A = this chain, B = another copy of it.
Amino acid sequence: MNPIIAMEYSDDRLRLVDQRRLPGAYETFECRTWRDCVFAIKDMVVRGAPAIGAAAAYGAALAALEYSALGAPEFGPAMRAALGELRRARPTAVNLMWAVDRMAAALDASLGLGPGRAAYERLKAEADAVLADETDRSERIAEYGAALVPDGAVILTHCNTGSLAVPGPGTALGIIKAAHRAGKGVSVYADETRPRLQGARLTAWELDREGVPVTLIADSVAATLMRDGKISLVVVGADRIAANGDAANKIGTFMLSALAERYGVPFYVAAPVSTIDFGCPSGDAIAIEERSPDEVTTIEGVRVAPAGVRVYNPAFDVTPAGNITAIVTERGVIRPPYGPAIAALRPGAGEGTL
């Protein structure tokens, strides 16, 4: 089956796989205006930080198309209002802000062109570049990571980190798919990933569609599998990596890392360099977002806990660097001690492969 293309731009419109409908239906959501893009981001038609960034970039291009008939004095302010709304569509996604900032810079550079088709083409080209850059990054991560995967590996993963979240093959899931395509004969246990069930809804669907053998488990089953030697390695994504290698990721990741450390299972984190927060000294400095109790107390609108019960629902947890065997980036694989390895990736510390 063809790889999943979760985002495609042509004929002046952005087409997204509608992730709200998966796994029940595989449908396309079409954005014809920048407001459609804001809606798609807000309503989680598209999710995953790199995918959100790319969708916002195309939103900026669609704004330039919509305002192409305006006079020059109106065009700039209208575009800035649209960029502001795109930027605010999700509050915490760092990639969203970067992508919008990049589009704002492209807009500034193109203001000499005035409104009209030329400005739109310039912004569309920039959005294409955002998408291509993200795709290229995840392809490199997949390639570097696949080299770490032994033949016949049984891989445990958590949450969803594939083509739905990231343009290209994905991060952790990209590695798994690359190892599969390389003929390594891998198979996967996918945690369902409570409370939002991204593992059940998205990862199991994506791997199944790609032909990778996948078995879905409740999150608490992983412990016995690791103790019994049934897991060759764990690979997960990251939402934010501190300068010392501590990594924040979907709730449940730390649990897996602690069990992997206890039972001698290699534990890999896969993420683009843009995930590293060089100004953040350690995981202690990472604030953990608490999400709505409803995510735990109701499932698909059905209440599964008593009304009014107190809930503690952290979205993320922090895996200490000491539990991480290696971090796979688009610039290579880094290993402990992470401090110097991460410092070498800092912008200005020299580009290129490690």
Q: Which positions in A face B, CB cutoff 8 Å?
A: 23-24, 189, 192, 194-195, 197, 200-201, 204-205, 208, 213-224, 227, 251-252, 254-255, 258-259, 262, 293, 296-297, 299-300, 302-307, 309-314, 317-318
Contacts and interface: CB of A to CB of B under 8 A. Distances in A.
Contact of A227 (B201, B213, B258, B313): B258
Contact of A223 (B189, B258, B297, B310): B258
A215 B309 CA distance: 7
Given A200-B304, A215-B312, A227-B254, 11 more contacts: A208-B306, A208-B309, A216-B309, A216-B311, A217-B312, A219-B219, A223-B255, A224-B318, A227-B258, A258-B259, A262-B262
A28 B323 CA distance: 50
Query: Counting chain B CB atoms within 10 Å of each CB, which of A218, A293, A299 scores highest?
Result: A218
A286 to B, nearest CB: 12
The 7 A-B pairs with the shortest beta carbon distances in the complex, nearest first, are A220-B252, A223-B255, A23-B306, A200-B305, A194-B218, A300-B302, A205-B306
7 contacts: A23-B305, A23-B307, A194-B194, A214-B310, A217-B312, A258-B259, A258-B262
Q: How many copies of this protein are present in the complex?
A: 2
Most buried by B among A201, A223, A296: A223
Contacts of A205: 305-306, 309
A67 to B, nearest CB: 41
Nearest to A222: B255
A254 B223 contact: yes
A299 B304 CA distance: 9
Contact of A24 (B303, B312, B313, B317): B303
Contact of A313 (B189, B218, B302, B306): B218
Contacts of A208: 306, 309
A277 to B, nearest CB: 20
A217 B23 contact: no
A152 to B, nearest CB: 17
Given A189-B312, A259-B255, A262-B258, A219 B204 contact: no
Contacts of A195: 218
A251 B223 CA distance: 10
A224 B248 CA distance: 12
B201 A304 contact: yes
Contact of A197 (B223, B252, B258, B304): B304
A350 to B, nearest CB: 36
A259 B263 CA distance: 12
Nearest to A213: B310
A176 to B, nearest CB: 16
A311 to B, nearest CB: 5
Contacts of A304: 192, 197, 200-201, 299-300
Contacts of A221: 251-252, 312-314, 317
Contact of A310 (B216, B259, B305): B216
B219 A317 contact: no
Nearest to A295: B218
Contacts of A310: 213-216
Contacts of A222: 255
Given A258-B259, A309-B204, A218 B297 contact: no
